[in-house]
Amino acid sequence: MAIALNRLGALEAAHKLQRRELTAEQLVRACFARIEQREGTIHAWTALQKDAALERAQELDRGAVSGLLHGLPIGVKDLFDTVDLPTCYGSPIYERHRSAADAASVAICRAEGAIVLGKTVTTEFASYVPGPTRNPRNEAYTPGGSSSGSAAAVADSMVPFALGTQTAGSIIRPAAYCGIVGFKPTFGAITRAGVKPLAESLDTVGGFARSVPDVALFASVLMRDARMRDLAYDAKPRIGMYRSLQWRHAQSETKEAYAQAAATLSRMGARVEEVALPSEHAALVQLHADVMAYEASQALAYERLAHGGQISPKLLAMLEAGARITAEEHIRNLERAAQARARVDNWFESHDVLLAPSASGEAPFADLGTGDPQFCRAWTLFGLPCLHLPFATGPQGLPVGLQMVGRRHDDHRLLAIGAWAHQKLLEAAGGPDIGGSHVWPRG
């Protein structure tokens, strides 16, 4: 049976579009059909532009192939400025806001032929308070946050790729809860121009897709790194298994996935070793929280000072706490983070990548919030590239996986090993074969 067009992965769809075996209009219509079928349940979008998207698709179909993303539909988190759609940052303060220009990452995607279908739900200023989005695997549960709508839209086959951001765990955790691939690159590797800031030394642009090669295609465009279009990998990776000092909060399904991954990848030829847990890492969750609070109080100074009554109590409390941290304290916090990061960098002398929990376990119920980012905070603080790999399920039948962490600016190796490892983990779990499209076609 032929796969529905909206379920095509980004790379497979790109191949068909480049070869003119599929039209952009066909793909866009299939995605909107899925949105119309499911949006009333999932609530992934804040704004859609069907007519404009179809007009752009028809224009692309009439002309020459426009770029690597020619005709691919995408979703854009409502933290990114867009010239043709409202940008509200998840806040009533910006209910009628229209941006004068696209965020740079949106402009780059469009220039390579991507078609923006709409804006996806974000939590309030990419922080705590959830929007209406539900987990496509089970609507009683949260999709995670803050990139709630982007993760849900990709997981529900509404689009093959969506842009997101991470300041604590806002890409990796939603990817984990929704059972898709999430990629947070090295800090600063993708421009943040035109993205509403929350914490200047933490905010990172990344995205979601349904396989590692899919997300790598978009990363190759946004990071201007052609190596990411060839993820062929035939070495035996050195994988460090890192439980983290938050391990006591890991639920049984995460512990089982961790053990399963170690056994499977070792059996497949990887050198797998446990990484010692430095005692200083016990303080990293709070250190990240303090850095985030200080910088958020600065970044959202206008909103806090002029519109405090329209900010949720939880976010306002964080901003006020951050405003009480002095510049001297913040500098010391940044120095402590840099020292810890330098020691972690040394781990990559003996390990190519690390494998660690993405979240404590399955997604919690939606009325409990978007989940806890504690397993992501340290990696975001360090600015390391992270890749969520879904391959298991928990007791409620919801997705479970792990995140793979790479050396700074070694994103290509992370993605290549991640593609290899993900395929092996899925094979061991009896999942789908995604190994046929790891390389962009030549010639």
Inter-CA distances, 66 with 24, 50, 111, 167, 230, Å: 12, 20, 8, 33, 21
Does the residue 79 lie in any domain? yes
User: Residue 335: is it exposed, middle or buried by C-beta count within 10 angstroms (0-12/13-18/19+)?
Assistant: exposed
Please tell me the predicted confidence (pLDDT) of residue 435. 41
Does the residue 291 lie in any domain? no
Residue 60 near residue 128 (C-beta atoms within 8 A): no
Q: Is the pLDDT of residue 345 over 50?
A: yes
State the CATH number of the domain containing residue 20.
3.90.1300.10
Looking at every residue in the chain, the average pLDDT score rounds to 96
Does the residue 91 lie in any domain? yes
Q: Is the pLDDT of residue 436 over 90?
A: no
Please tell me the predicted confidence (pLDDT) of residue 3. 80
Domains identified in the chain, total number:
1
C-alpha angle 349-353-354 in degrees, rounded to nearest 5: 105
Q: Is the peptide bond before 146 cis (omega within 30 degrees of 0)?
A: yes
Query: 372: domain range?
Result: 2-275+347-428
Q: What is the pLDDT of residues 63-94, one digit of tens each?
A: 999 999 999 999 999 999 999 999 999 999 99
Q: Is the pLDDT of residue 380 over 80?
A: yes
Please tell me the predicted confidence (pLDDT) of residue 434. 47
Please tell me the predicted confidence (pLDDT) of residue 442. 37
Q: What is the pLDDT of residues 161-171, one digit of tens each?
A: 999 999 999 99
Does the residue 299 lie in any domain? no
Q: Is the pLDDT of residue 443 over 60?
A: no
Does the residue 310 lie in any domain? no
Q: What is the pLDDT of residues 99-145, one digit of tens each?
A: 999 999 999 999 999 999 999 999 999 999 999 999 999 999 999 99
Does the residue 237 lie in any domain? yes
The C-alpha atoms of residue 336 and residue 325 are separated, in whole angstroms, by 15
Q: In which band, very low, low, confident or very high, does the pLDDT at 430 lie, cut at 50, 70 and 90?
A: confident
Q: State CA 251 to chain mean position distance.
A: 22
At residue 206, φ and ψ (nearest 5 deg) are: -155, -150
Q: In which band, very low, low, confident or very high, does the pLDDT at 432 lie, cut at 50, 70 and 90?
A: low
Does the residue 260 lie in any domain? yes
Please tell me the predicted confidence (pLDDT) of residue 1. 55
Residue 194 near residue 81 (C-beta atoms within 8 A): yes
The C-alpha atoms of residue 239 and residue 348 are separated, in whole angstroms, by 10
Q: What is the pLDDT of residues 216-241, one digit of tens each?
A: 999 999 999 999 999 999 999 999 99
Does the residue 280 lie in any domain? no
3-state secondary structure of 76: strand
